[in-house]
Amino acid sequence: MKDIYLDHAATTPIDVRVQRKMASVMKYTYGNPSSLHAKGIEAKQMIEDARIMMAKSIGANPKEIHFCSGGTEATNWAIKGLAKAHPLKKEIITSTIEHHATTHAVEDLVKEGYTHTLVSVDAMGFMDLDQLEAIISEDTLVVSVIWGNNEIGTIQDIKKIAKICQKKHVYLHVDGVQAFGQINIDLSKLQIDLLTLSAHKFYGPKGIGILYVKSGVELDHLIAGGSQEHHLRAGTENVLGIVGMAYAAYLMKRTIKSYIRHLTELSIDLYERIRAIAPDVILNGPEIGIQRLPGNLSLSFTDVTSNSLIFQLSERGIYVSAGSACTSDSILPSHVLQAISVPETHIHGSLRITFGKDSSLSDHPYIAQTLEDVLDTLR
Ligand SMILES: Cc1ncc(COP(=O)(O)O)c(C=O)c1O
């Protein structure tokens, strides 16, 4: 049977070169980085080398890189850590199309008396920046924005958003989990205060990520305990994950231009083929181009449900998602599709196809034919 994985926004397989590196760390570098003997020093050195490598990949200073367990923790940490460090500011602003890591972290704070103010998006998912500028108040602590949307691929204009935040003297946290690898990130050219990244979205291991914290930003810890990560994130470091992530980031950065070209070519080709077999299809989010994550095709069909499509395609060796993986067991359409007002006729039949390194044009005739058969069967 075919085995065509098209769910790279949910997660990516670990690059074989990263696997090899991690296997060697697993075997030989077992020391606790806090130990004072040679085994500990060796492990600690690996972490610091990885920190430098990670920093270089995003144009940051190594001191600004803080390792943690991934995108969800980093985002919770950014928002709650700022709140703890700046208790007088009680408003958090986000867009209506954030990942649940953000919205649920903010909801936790709402229970403690904070205000969550939402900025609307247009039909393509772009934030209303005039609205953003107008609503930032004296009470605003942070604006938290998803750079590349995990469901519909919209790339926000972070440069403009950063300028607004700077002008209004509020912090900017950016969820860059889907962005790294598909957008060339250079923090030396952007006024971002905090940035969240997660290794399993760029061919690194799961359960490891970073929170970039710009020098000078006051942030409290989320997890209390030992003095790891500049006293900001306690717990024995995931040396294996850290080394794997930094190497994955390095590899990704080296090939980003050709990777983006590859993903764009795949998106254009498959979208054209799908339009030919299903003229009712809608592309959710911006048109394919520089304002859309190149590997994301979010599509909606009439007269089918996402879950039945996913199941039928999976039976035929094609693995895709509906909206985001985290909402896939919910029968409600995702808040993102609702926020961009996908028509009622289409909103229940959405599919998220996300390409990766090993995706191939040669699979497209099979995918299009299979989708046509499945649509015929289901309708
Ligand atoms: C945009 C976005 N933010 C945050 C996360 C959470 O990251 P993690 O899986 O590393 O916790 C995800 C994961 O799907 C994501 O797509």
Q: How far, in Å, is the centroid of ligand 1 from the Cα of 343?
A: 26
State the CATH architecture for 4-13+256-378.
Answer: Alpha-Beta Complex (3.90)
Residue 315 DSSP code: H
The answer to whether residue 312 scores a pLDDT higher than 60 is: yes
Number of C-beta neighbours around residue 319 at 10 A: 15
Q: Can you tell me the mean pLDDT for 93-115?
A: 98
Ligand 1 atom 5, closest CA: 71
Which residues sit with their C-beta closer than 6 Å to ligand 1? 70-72, 75, 99, 101, 146, 150, 175, 177-178, 198, 209
In DSSP notation, 236-290 reads: ---HHHHHHHHHHHHHHHHTHHHHHHHHHHHHHHHHHHHHHH-TT-EE-SSPSST
List the one residue out of 369, 354, 332, 356 whose CA is nearest residue 151: 354
Binned at pLDDT 50, 70 and 90, residue 333 comes out as confident
Q: Can you tell me the mean pLDDT for 100-108?
A: 98
Which atom of ligand 1 lies nearest, measured to the CA of 72? 11
Report CA torsion sign: 340, 346, 347, 351.
negative
The answer to whether residue 326 scores a pLDDT higher than 90 is: no
Q: How far, in Å, is the centroid of ligand 1 from the Cα of 102?
A: 9
List the one residue out of 173, 151, 152 whose CA is nearest residue 162: 173
Domain with CATH 3.40.640.10 in the chain: 16-254
The answer to whether residue 228 scores a pLDDT higher than 70 is: yes
User: Could you give the CA distance from residue 228 to residue 89 in angstroms, rounded to a whole number?
Assistant: 28
Which atom of ligand 1 lies nearest, measured to the CA of 198? 10
Contact 145, 117 (CB under 8 A): no
In DSSP notation, 321-334 reads: BSS-GGGTT-SSPP
Domain with CATH 3.90.1150.10 in the chain: 4-13+256-378
Which atom of ligand 1 lies nearest, measured to the CA of 11? 14
Q: Can you tell me the mean pLDDT for 213-226?
A: 97
User: Could you give the CA distance from residue 347 to residue 327 in angstroms, rounded to a whole number?
Assistant: 14
Q: What is the pLDDT of residues 142-196, one digit of tens each?
A: 999 999 999 999 999 999 999 999 999 999 999 999 999 999 999 999 999 999 9
CA 355 to chain centre: 14
In the chain, the N- to C-terminal Cα span, in Å, equals 24
Can 326 be counted among the known catalytic residues? yes
Q: Which residue has the higher pLDDT, 321 or 328?
A: 321
The answer to whether residue 329 scores a pLDDT higher than 80 is: no
Binned at pLDDT 50, 70 and 90, residue 323 comes out as low
Q: How far, in Å, is the centroid of ligand 1 from the Cα of 40?
A: 31
Provide, for the chain, the percentages of residues in helix, strand and coil under a 3-state DSSP scheme, each rounded to the nearest 5.
45, 15, 40
What angle in degrees, to the nearest 10, is found between the helix axes of 306-315 and 364-378?
130
Number of C-beta neighbours around residue 16 at 10 A: 9
User: Could you give the CA distance from residue 137 to residue 141 in angstroms, rounded to a whole number?
Assistant: 9
Instruction: Take residue 312 and report the two structure tokens written for it.
Output: 């039928």
Q: Of 14, 129, 223, 326, which is the active-site residue?
A: 326
Instruction: Take residue 142 and report the two structure tokens written for it.
Output: 């942070």
Whole-number average pLDDT of the chain: 96
Residue 127 DSSP code: B
Q: Can you tell me the mean pLDDT for 116-142?
A: 98
CATH numeric code, 16-254: 3.40.640.10
Going by their DSSP bridges, the two strands 209-213 and 65-68 should be labelled as antiparallel
Residue that has been written with the tokens 């709402």 in this structure: 110
**What b/e string do you get for 134-164 counting C-beta neighbours within 10 Å, with b at 16 or more?**
ebbeeebbbbbbbbbbbbbbbbbebeebbbb
Residue that has been written with the tokens 């990560």 in this structure: 229
Q: Which secondary structure element, helix H or strand E, spans residue 100, and what is its range?
A: helix 100-110
Binned at pLDDT 50, 70 and 90, residue 28 comes out as very high
Q: How many residues in total does the chain contain?
A: 379
Ligand 1 atom 2, closest CA: 177
CA angle 43, 49, 51 (to 5 degrees): 105
Instruction: Tell me which of 198, 211, 245 to substitute to probe ligand 1's pocket, judged by most ligand atoms within 8 Å of the beta carbon.
Output: 198
Query: What is the model's pLDDT at position 331?
Result: 67
Q: What is the pLDDT of residues 51-86, one digit of tens each?
A: 999 999 999 999 999 999 999 999 999 999 999 999
Contact 182, 146 (CB under 8 A): no
Binned at pLDDT 50, 70 and 90, residue 327 comes out as low
Instruction: Tell me which of 100, 178, 238 to substitute to probe ligand 1's pocket, judged by most ligand atoms within 8 Å of the beta carbon.
Output: 178
Q: How far, in Å, is the centroid of ligand 1 from the Cα of 208?
A: 11
Ligand 1 atom 9, closest CA: 71
Q: How far, in Å, is the centroid of ligand 1 from the Cα of 101?
A: 7
